[in-house]
Chain A
Amino acid sequence: MLGQPGGLITTAAQALDYQFGFKVSETWFYKFLEKALAWIILLQLCVLFLSTTFVIIEPGGQGLLEHFGRPAQAGAVLDPGWHLKWPWPIDKVYRYQTREIQGFVVGEEPDKEETVLWTRPHFSKEESEDASEMLVASREQTAREDNSEKAVPANLLTVSIPMQYQITNLLAWAYNHADADKLLQELANREVVRYLVNVDLDHIMSDGRLAAAEEIRQRVQTRANEAKLGVSIVFVGLQDIHPPLGNKRTQVAGSFEAVVSAIQQKQTNILYALAYQAEKIPSAQAEATNIIAQAHNDEITRIAVAEAEAGQFTNQIAAYRVSPSVYLQRSYLETLARALGPVRKYILTATNTQDIVILNLEQNIREDLLLGGSILPPDINKSSPTHK
């Protein structure tokens, strides 16, 4: 075939003649092809060969240029753009998306739940036996630890931590590890486990969350650097780390919410007490002001009355000195007349009887006693059933 390539064409022409029913081999196109086929094939080979002498790297990517299998001395890493190189198989280029932000999740893979609640399953395995909670230390449990007991001094947390990274050193990424992405995920898992077994549950669930995210990011970065992965960890998110759902018998996440409610209740009680305090103190201050003001009023009244009485008494002295007994009697009777006007009075005028008169001084007094103000004769009093 290499010695006489025209023979192959002749055979093909005979087959075409037979199929089409006319002499294809006598057409101008066939004759041109017969003469130029070798040139055409050679030209195509040349074009193909020459096409391997340059490479175009797309935006966001980088190329790794190898010369006889070794990284090219003059710039093994090709940035986006057009580059010349030796033809294949002398130089080979391997492409990587180095600028692209890549990511993975440590722990549970989240479902596409729009609303994420602790008490509702939102991970695919969360309710199953395969749920993979992570062990978390507890400061109190550590303090209580007693080797004689078999209690497990640990807590469990459901964890779903997204991590994002970017390739920063292509040579390290490509040459040091067969599956660098997988190794990075293993390292990240290890660092999360390592962090959680040494951190207090309540700390990471509350104020330590942000600091924990940064701490884990730094630890994963350090481990990645030690493993020469050539990556930069750009993000570690701890937003989805929470108590496990529990099982049918024991709902754990719900009990954590009860604590939140209790904290709220505590604050509510304190606020009610503060409201009581806010009302009580000003009220007492107002009462105190009132008492003192009343005292001042009384003081003024007392002094004024004393002054007035002194003045009145001075005036009375003159009248008294003229006729003391008359003045006294007159004053007495005037006062009595004024004072006894509205008062109910019983006047016992009979002195020659041994009867004991019992008067009912309660409110239900006989009407005839009240009306008219008449003084009943003793004989009527004797007929009263209250008389003995």
Chain B
Amino acid sequence: MKRNPITIITGAVLAVIFVCMLFTFQVRQTEVAVVTTFGNYSRSITNAGFQFRLPWPIQKIYEFDNRIQTFERKFDQSFTKDQISLIISVYVGWRVADPRMFLESFNGDVTKAEQTLEPVVRNAKSGVIGQTAFSDLISTNQAELRFDEVETKMLDAIQAQVRRTYGIQIEILGVKRLNLPASVTSTVFERMRAERQRLVSKYQSEGERAAKVIRATADGQANEITARAKSEAIKIAGEAETKAAEYYETFKKEPDLAVFWFQLKALEPSLKERSSLILGPQTVPFNLLNGVSGNNATNSPFQK
């Protein structure tokens, strides 16, 4: 029977592909692999590349992602050393450190590994927080803050456990969230509001004080300006009096006349409207009226 060469070529190609699939495999840069022979561990492959193998079911290949896996533990409530209740969440970055141990511990299942890791992380977290004062975790004083140290302690506590037991390595650990329980949150809200109220009062009184100071200063300055002006005015009046006195030399010539004259000058403006005068019958020139009434004709100047 004459064979079709195309058929032969196609068959050969497919056969080569099939053989390659049976006897070779690739390990990616992101992976590690464990080879078992009849169920027994044979070797671990940690370098990426092309590898030979015996066909299934003689050898089986288990490949695991060798990159850092991120695992986040949900919120947990813990007490600090000073009995303050905290809700804290941490994240962990881990990777397969020992492929064989990882396979044996978790059958290569990442989800199972993280479920196993969870109580370990929780235990370390609660333990470390219990040894830490609240002010070590939150403070404006950099020297007082132990935030990074707390994370390192948690990492160390977890590391010691998981490396030798589970074949995984914790590469990163950090506090993702830090919060307070709802009951404490209410009191913090209350205190925050009181704090703001204090600031409101402070700013109001500061404003009033500053305004009073400005007004008082302005009044003082205004008074000073006016007082200086009045002082200057008095000085000017004094100088005027001195200059005026130079003219008074004239009055020395007839002092009696001068006194009389000044009296007259004073009399006139003092008898302005709404003045009432009660005059006796002897007042000149009203003594003339004595003759008019007829009673005291003897006192009348007309009789003289």
| A contacts, CB < 8 Å to B | 2-3, 5, 38-39, 41-42, 45, 66, 68-71, 89, 129, 132-140, 142, 145, 147, 150-156, 174-179, 182-183, 186-187, 189-190, 193-194, 197-200, 227, 243-244, 246-247, 249-252, 255-256, 258-259, 261-263, 265-270, 272-274, 276-277, 280-281, 283-285, 287-292, 294-296, 298-300, 302-303, 305-307, 309-310, 313-314, 316-317, 320-321, 324, 327-329, 331-333, 335-336, 338-340, 342-352, 359, 361, 375, 377-378
Which of B48, B49, B221 lies in contact with A284, CB distance below 8 A? Answer: B221
Distance, CA A266 to CA B200, complexed state (A): 10
24 A–B pairs (Cβ distance < 8 Å), ordered by A: A2-B7, A69-B26, A69-B31, A145-B135, A152-B184, A176-B67, A186-B174, A190-B174, A190-B175, A197-B139, A255-B193, A258-B200, A268-B207, A272-B211, A280-B221, A291-B232, A295-B236, A314-B253, A335-B264, A338-B268, A339-B271, A344-B276, A347-B280, A349-B290
Q: Kindly provide the distance from the CB of B102 to the nearest chain A CB, expressed in whole angstroms.
A: 14
Which of B148, B196, B200, B207 lies in contact with A269, CB distance below 8 A? Answer: B207
Evaluate whether A332 and B264 lie within 8 angstroms (CB atoms) in the complex, with A177-B67, A273-B211, A346-B276 already known: yes
The reply to whether B196 and A227 contact each other, CB–CB distance below 8 Å, is no
The reply to whether B138 and A298 contact each other, CB–CB distance below 8 Å, is no
B58 at the interface (CB under 8 A from A): no
Distance, CA A250 to CA B191, complexed state (A): 10
Which of B84, B176, B253, B280 lies in contact with A150, CB distance below 8 A? Answer: B84
Evaluate whether A284 and B204 lie within 8 angstroms (CB atoms) in the complex, with A68-B49, A145-B135 already known: no
Contact residues in A for B249 (Cβ distance below 8 Å)? 310
Contact residues in B for A361 (Cβ distance below 8 Å)? 276
Contact residues in B for A332 (Cβ distance below 8 Å)? 260, 264, 284
Evaluate whether A270 and B192 lie within 8 angstroms (CB atoms) in the complex, with A194-B175, A375-B289 already known: no
Q: Kindly provide the distance from the CB of B247 to the nearest chain A CB, expressed in whole angstroms.
A: 4
Contact residues in A for B9 (Cβ distance below 8 Å)? 42
Q: Kindly provide the distance from the CB of A261 to the nearest chain B CB, expressed in whole angstroms.
A: 8
The reply to whether B257 and A200 contact each other, CB–CB distance below 8 Å, is no
The reply to whether B200 and A273 contact each other, CB–CB distance below 8 Å, is no
Distance, CA A306 to CA B211, complexed state (A): 51
The reply to whether A227 and B279 contact each other, CB–CB distance below 8 Å, is no
* Extra 4 A-B pairs, beta carbons < 8 Å, given A142-B141, A152-B184: A69-B29, A156-B188, A265-B203, A299-B243
B91 at the interface (CB under 8 A from A): yes
Evaluate whether A178 and B295 lie within 8 angstroms (CB atoms) in the complex, with A266-B204, A284-B226 already known: no
| B contacts, CB < 8 Å to A | 4, 6-7, 9-11, 13-14, 26-31, 48-50, 65, 67-70, 72, 82-84, 91, 93, 133-135, 137-142, 144-145, 147-148, 172, 174-180, 182, 184-193, 195-197, 199-204, 206-208, 210-215, 217-219, 221-223, 225-226, 228-230, 232-234, 236-237, 239-241, 243-251, 253-254, 257-258, 260-261, 264, 267-268, 270-281, 283-286, 289-290, 292-293, 295-296, 299
The reply to whether B70 and A183 contact each other, CB–CB distance below 8 Å, is yes
Contact residues in B for A336 (Cβ distance below 8 Å)? 267, 285
Contact residues in A for B186 (Cβ distance below 8 Å)? 247, 249-250
Contact residues in A for B250 (Cβ distance below 8 Å)? 310, 313-314
Residue of A nearest to B14 (CB): A2
Which of B214, B228, B270 lies in contact with A270, CB distance below 8 A? Answer: B214
Which 6 pairs show the lowest CB-CB distances between chains A and B?
A266-B207, A288-B229, A284-B222, A306-B244, A295-B233, A299-B240
Q: Kindly provide the distance from the CB of A233 to the nearest chain B CB, expressed in whole angstroms.
A: 16
Interface of chain B, helix or strand or loop or mixed?
helix
Contact residues in A for B222 (Cβ distance below 8 Å)? 280-281, 283-284
Which of A5, A155, A262, A328 lies in contact with B203, CB distance below 8 A? Answer: A262
Distance, CA A176 to CA B219, complexed state (A): 75
Evaluate whether A277 and B217 lie within 8 angstroms (CB atoms) in the complex, with A154-B188, A189-B177 already known: yes
Which of A66, A250, A298, A343 lies in contact with B273, CB distance below 8 A? Answer: A343
Q: Kindly provide the distance from the CB of A263 to the nearest chain B CB, expressed in whole angstroms.
A: 5
Contact residues in A for B286 (Cβ distance below 8 Å)? 347
Q: Kindly provide the distance from the CB of A64 to the nearest chain B CB, expressed in whole angstroms.
A: 9
The reply to whether A310 and B247 contact each other, CB–CB distance below 8 Å, is yes
The reply to whether A342 and B219 contact each other, CB–CB distance below 8 Å, is no
Evaluate whether A317 and B70 lie within 8 angstroms (CB atoms) in the complex, with A153-B134, A177-B93, A268-B207 already known: no
